Structure 1
Amino acid sequence: MRQMRRRFLAVAALSAAALTLAACSSDGAEGSDGDQSTPDGPITLDYWAWGTAQQPMVEAWNEAHPDIQVVHTDAGGGGDSSAKLVTATRAENAPDVAIVEYNTLPAMIVAGVAADISEYTGDLESEYAPGVWSQATFDGASYGVPQDAGPMALTYNQARFDELGIEVPTTWAEFAEAAEAVREADPGTYITTFAPAEFGGFAGLAQQAGAEWWTVDGDTWTVGIDSDASLEVADYWQDLIDRDLVLAEPLLTPEWNAALNDGEILSWPAGLWAAGVLNGVAGEMAGDWAMAPLPQWEEGNSSVAFQGGSAVVVTTSAEYPEIAAEFAAWMGASDEAAAIQIEQGQYPASLAGQELTLESDPPLLMPQQEDYWAVAAEIAANTVPEISWGPNVNVASSAFQDAMSAAVQNGTPLREALATTHEAVVEDMETAGFTVETD
């Protein structure tokens, strides 16, 4: 897997879009006017990032660095921000620094958005676990500083579980049994939601089951979105939907938030960031919720995948890449930034940040769970290493959302939606000139 991942850039270089990468590689920290010197006076960096932790971190940086001031803009989360970065780069008005999710970073490299900052980040690799550092490293080059990690866990309403006599499931088979028990005990309540638009969540569950949605060997890509492992995961959720044991609807709508606050939705299998999100919509339920390891597909196999997580990238538009990389390193690897992330419910990507969690209070949603960060550390230690993402995750995500939403609405099989997504991804890659095989 490591070799296949490292070969990504070599394949991506075949794309014409990747040609702009050369502008900010090993030639030095060259600004837009060709001047490689450090500026004489204070400078301003533009930074695009979403999430509750970003503005406090920027404020802390600005207070400590009066000569390098950062202006923070929330350009939307995940896919929205990445799409805007591509457009802004083409228009030559992109920010200096930006947050990019790990799964979209390959596409940002191909599109010429993320710059090679290897010459500025050489000392940082030891600050991260290999699997995390590799999320922002391709073909031996660094294209970002990992900031947060999202290993998947089960965030659940402990008070309602106890009230209904539900044991926390440790396998997905037990989870299905618990889902049935919840409906029998309280017909107006569901153990969880199957959200058809949650591309990252479904991908994480499929990866936990052993699926590899993209791999590359030499110049040949293999796409496995409709692989047997993925289809088995789809069939699992299909069964729960057909038996009305899970609520099949979007997350974080006003209706969903109301049901959550009324104790009618009892868990969320998601990245460790879920505690912060839920606290934002159900803060009055603090103390009722807890976190446990994600159920296992195979008993005894505690591996989980990442759902989310992001790196701070220096864009090819940065006027002073070296200074921008200094800011990226601080945002991703400093103790000061990690402390703010933890306070906001994020799980830091750096080893030092993860160690700092063990000395920190639990997230606001579950102040009673004193072992929260210890459990989080165990989960993070069992993440699936070296997950590969393809060059057109944006296409995959859009196709997945459309196909899964239609399947839920029309009552058609989820496995057919996966097949539709798979076909769209393969067709797009072949049109772009990639050599593609199917799993």
Structure 2
Amino acid sequence: MRIAQRRAGVAVAAAALAAVGLTACSSSSSGSTAAGSGGSGGASGQAAIAAALQKKSAITVWAWAPQVKDIVAAFEKKYPNVTVNLVNAGTATTEYTKLQNAVKAGSGAPDVAQIEYYALPQFALSGALANLQDYGLSSLKGDYSDAVWGSVDINNQLVGLPQDTGPMALFYNKKVFDKYQLKVPATWADYVADAQKLHTANPSAYLTNDVGDPGFVTSMIWDAGGKPFSVSGTTNVTMNLQDDGSKKFADTWNQLIKGGLLSPISSWSNQWYTGLGNGTIASLITGAWMPGNLESGVPTGSGDWRVAPMPTWTAGAAAATAENGGSSDTVLKQSKNPLVAAGFLQFMNDGPGATIFANEGGFPSQNSILSSASFQNAAPAYFGGQQINQVLSAAANSVLPGWSYLPFQVYANSIFPDSVGQAYAKKSDLNAALKTWQDSSAQYGTQQGFTVSSKRRHTDHAAAPACRCHIRHLGVWPTV
């Protein structure tokens, strides 16, 4: 969804974020069962959910996706004894701050909350979310790709169900590409060459815009095969924003930044929409949720735009991509009606609600919808009749598995402009900026009670390869 592409540099309330660290060491043990959950077995869990949905009850759902309103209506029609109070508590950090405050207070949380994948570990590892294995929902694993399921399976607990996803693709303006004789790039080296060719031919035009966005940068590192963050248990975190994928992205993007080849226009601004419409921004590297945003926000571009797979980092390499955006839906441990809440999640994301979501413009996460003929064969006029979902569903099946976000990613994203954002503004080295972002984020994580190991490449030090590198801020000596 579009919300995941917005800049995440909004400061989060200090008290709310502090609660993350304070609760990190007291997470509930794996496999705990909420009251009345009906046990961990799939059959008993499903039977308990079915019985609960027939009783008079009410749940509160915090969600911002516009499709949820119609999903709620369909759910209440099927289960007339259940009342769903739908609340838009804000998007991104606005909702997360309220949610974290409720978790810290021990009351005031909804039964169900929509949470983006990047923020999910913050609430999962602090023990705020119910383990949906206790309600038999782990049986739904086969309905999703491994990468998508991995986003909601955290520390061996199923903490949510996937709602929408954002497998990345290249959206490009064919009219501009044809005018300047640009080839759709097969590799990122081709992409850099296209950027130089276009901007040289027309100094007012750029291949894309980018002023520094944490969600985009981490997605591109993911796409490059990087795994800079890992979490073991609930408190042990390893960071390495100089791993091979991080370096691969930074070294490539440095060419665009230092060469002045990126439009200095912020995404989702009026200027951005204008640039997409008049061709001065000729492509976007973004999630599969983008088509509806282009159709509604850039009507003058109808017929001009197309979709292509992500370029590869090595010529001839197999297709691979990453997620950019997307949300899950979770059941809070504070819920007084966890069975009903779990039933609503299943209806919304693995039942009729998933179809409603896709029909109303959301990019689905369910394999059955992604592979359906109606989805695959859609040929929107906006994209010149191209069957774009064939490209996008292929991207969904090419997302690299094994990615992890930090359990304090919301905070890390909020300080991104102070380091990596400055590299964009000053046209300086991304690698150095990523190291600074890593140090600042790691320092915060340590202050909040996490055990953070922060790795560096030996080329950053004068020591011999066999050394053990002291990590600034942290006082730890990991083997590297």
In the alignment of these two chains, the number of paired residues is 421
- Which of the numbers 401, 413, 417 marks the counterpart of 1:385? 401
Equivalent in the alignment of 2:346:
329
| Structure 2 residue 23 is the aligned partner of structure 1 residue 16 | yes
SS at match of 2:453: strand
Matched residues in 2 for 1:320 and 1:432: separation?
31
User: Secondary structure of the equivalent of 2:371?
Assistant: helix
Deviations 1:88-109 (A, max 9, x none): 3334111111111122111111
Partner of 1:28: 35
Displacement of 1:136 in angstroms is 0.8
User: Could you list the per-position Cα deviations for residues 347-369 of structure 1 after superposition, in whole angstroms to 9, with x for gaps in the alignment?
Assistant: 21121222236546648573534
Matched, 1:98 2:105: no
8 Å CA contact 1:21, 1:116 repeated in 2 = no
Alignment partners' CA distance in 2, 1:147 and 1:261 = 30
- Give 1:165's match in structure 2, choosing from 181, 186, 191: 181
- Selected match of 1:227 from 234, 238, 243: 243
Report the AA paired with residue 92 of structure 2.
Answer: G
Which residue of 200, 204, 207 corresponds with 1:191? 207
CA shift for structure 1 position 28: 3.3
Distance 1:274 1:365, change over 3 A: farther
Counterparts of 1:285-304 in structure 2 under 5 Å?
285-299=301-315, 300-304=317-321
Structure 2 distance, partners of 1:332, 1:217, is 28
Q: 2:363 aligns to what? A: 347
1:182 CA drift (Å): 1.6
Provide the C-alpha distance between the structure 2 equivalents of 1:333 and 1:274, rounded to a whole number of angstroms.
22
Q: Report the CA distance between 1:21 and its aligned residue.
A: 4.0
Q: How far apart are the structure 1 equivalents of 2:363 and 2:120?
A: 19
Summarize the Cα distance change of 1:14–1:248 in structure 2 as closer, same or farther, 3 Å threshold: closer
Pair 23,234 (structure 1): closer, same or farther in 2 beyond 3 Å: closer
Q: Which moved more, 1:69-78 or 1:252-261?
A: 69-78
Match for 1:429 among 445, 453, 459? Answer: 445
Query: Quick one: distance in 2 between partners of 1:59 and 1:282?
Result: 31
Alignment of 1:39-438 (within 5 A): 42-91=56-105, 92-120=107-135, 121-196=137-212, 198-216=213-231, 220-299=236-315, 300-334=317-351, 336-356=352-372, 358-359=374-375, 362=378, 366-438=382-454
2-structure distance, mates of 1:294, 1:344: 25
TM-score in terms of structure 1 length:
0.87
**Percent of aligned positions with the same letter in both sequences?**
28
| Distance verdict in 2 for CA 1:286–1:75, change over 3 Å | farther
User: Aligned to 1:45, what secondary structure does the other structure show?
Assistant: strand
Gap change, CA 1:174 and 1:71, over 3 Å in 2: same
**How much does 1:221 deviate?**
2.8
Q: Is the 8 A contact 1:400 1:417 kept in 2?
A: no
- The 3 A distance-change label for structure 1 pair 122 and 413 is closer
TM-aligned CA distance change 1:232 to 1:360, over 3 Å: closer
SS at match of 1:418: helix
Q: Is the CA contact 1:154–1:293 (under 8 Å) kept in the aligned structure 2?
A: yes
The CA distance in 2 between the partners of 1:427 and 1:405, in whole Å, is 19
Task: Go from structure 1 to structure 2 and tell me whether the alpha carbon gap of 1:139 and 1:183 turns closer, same or farther (over 3 Å shift).
Answer: closer
Distance 1:365 1:212, change over 3 A: farther
Cα distance in 2 between the residues matched to 1:143 and 1:98: 11
Residue pair 1:143, 1:313 contacting (<8 A) in 2 also: yes
Deviation at 1:189, TM superposition (A): 1.3
Query: Bigger CA drift: 14-23 or 178-187?
Result: 14-23
Paired letter, 1:155:
F
In structure 1, C-alpha distance between the alignment counterparts of 2:368 and 2:189, rounded to whole Å: 36
Query: In 2 relative to 1, CA 60–356 (structure 1 residues): closer, same or farther, beyond 3 Å?
Result: farther
Q: 1:166 to 1:340 in 2, by over 3 A?
A: farther
**3-state SS of paired residue (1:123):** helix
RMSD: 2.8
Amino acid at match of 1:419: K
Letter in 2 for 1:290: R
Q: Tell me: CA distance 1:113–1:406, structure 2 relative to 1, closer, same or farther (3 Å).
A: same
